[in-house]
Copies of this chain bind each other. A is one copy, B any other.
């Protein structure tokens, strides 16, 4: 897996100044907490005395106190107190990880610390734009390698099958006929797919009362190593949403996805759902979240089953089809970054 990259370790609201959070990230057991000044910290969740997990302790004035024999460590992992002992040896420290809080996310870098370049953290300003957007945050555990979930979002032909009874209902051909334009970047891939002059989904109609066909767009951008930024919506036919790229009206849905490896076989999925068409209506945000939550679970069931089968026999004998193009472009970028990582 890519280690020299930023993954979301937690939503900002998960960390408070009293209770540490334990989370395995990229095979590292990590304890997350906030220092007294609010600064987020991530340490190896293993006291340097007897390997007790630090998350069993508590947050105190100087940092985190081990719950076994009381040693205290600051956000750099330096030991600042040993009970009943006056001197603190230099060896008394635990590993710390570069940690940045941005756009309601706590980002972590578990690779080579010297390479941690803050400018590589994806932007998602809509999380902080509370006037125009109303977000709900969620976290899922997926029993599959994180790449399978990125694959999933890079090929939307799955909508007609995985979400046959939900998102994909009623219009399989419209999904298959959608346009597709893909842009490959240095550390990412972006595509936009339009379903022009198509029957609006039930959700659109219920929410905004569409009475005509719509032009629907689905824009997805993968940013290595684990983020996918989504902008989906629809506008009445005739408003030139497609022709003039005017996507500022109608149905407005933004989603932030980060697939953070827990291990090679398990993934933390941080997913937010943002309502941009009726941001002042909490019920609309809730409804949107619940509709999407069902489809998230459909995708999870599929990638977990796929993972089980890949665990058994790997990729042996598999073949690509036409709809894999964007997915393969994404995989090439990841392969290149992995090569760079291994030197």
A residues engaging B (CB < 8 A)?
Answer: 29, 45-46, 48-53, 56-57, 65-71, 82-85, 89, 91-92, 151, 155, 157-158, 160-162, 164, 176, 301-302, 305-306, 308-310, 312-313, 315, 317-323
Contact = CB atoms under 8 A, between A and B. Distances in A.
A interface majority secondary structure? loop
Given A69-B155, A70-B161, 7 more contacts: A29-B309, A48-B318, A48-B319, A49-B318, A49-B320, A67-B164, A84-B323
Contacts of A306: 50-53, 68
Given A83-B176, A312-B29, A319 B89 contact: yes
A312 B45 CA distance: 12
A315 B315 CA distance: 37
A305 B53 contact: yes
Nearest to A305: B53
A45 B309 contact: yes
A51 B302 CA distance: 10
Copy total for this chain: 3
A194 to B, nearest CB: 15
Contact of A71 (B46, B151, B321): B321
Contact of A52 (B71, B84, B89, B309): B309
Nearest to A152: B68
23 contacts: A29-B309, A29-B312, A46-B309, A48-B318, A48-B319, A49-B318, A49-B321, A51-B306, A51-B310, A52-B309, A53-B306, A53-B308, A56-B302, A56-B305, A67-B162, A68-B158, A83-B323, A84-B157, A84-B322, A84-B323, A85-B321, A85-B322, A92-B319
A91 B160 CA distance: 24
Contacts of A302: 52, 56, 67-68
A325 to B, nearest CB: 11
A92 B319 CA distance: 7
Contacts of A46: 309, 313
B161 A51 contact: no
Nearest to A312: B29
Contacts of A66: 161
Given A67-B161, A67-B302, A69-B161, A51 B309 contact: yes
Nearest to A51: B309
- The 6 A-B residue pairs with the shortest CB-CB distance, nearest first, are A51-B309, A85-B322, A84-B176, A53-B305, A70-B161, A52-B306
Nearest to A310: B51
Contacts of A318: 48-51
Contacts of A67: 161-162, 164, 302
A317 B93 CA distance: 10
A50 B321 CA distance: 10
A309 B92 CA distance: 18
A79 to B, nearest CB: 9
A84 B157 CA distance: 9
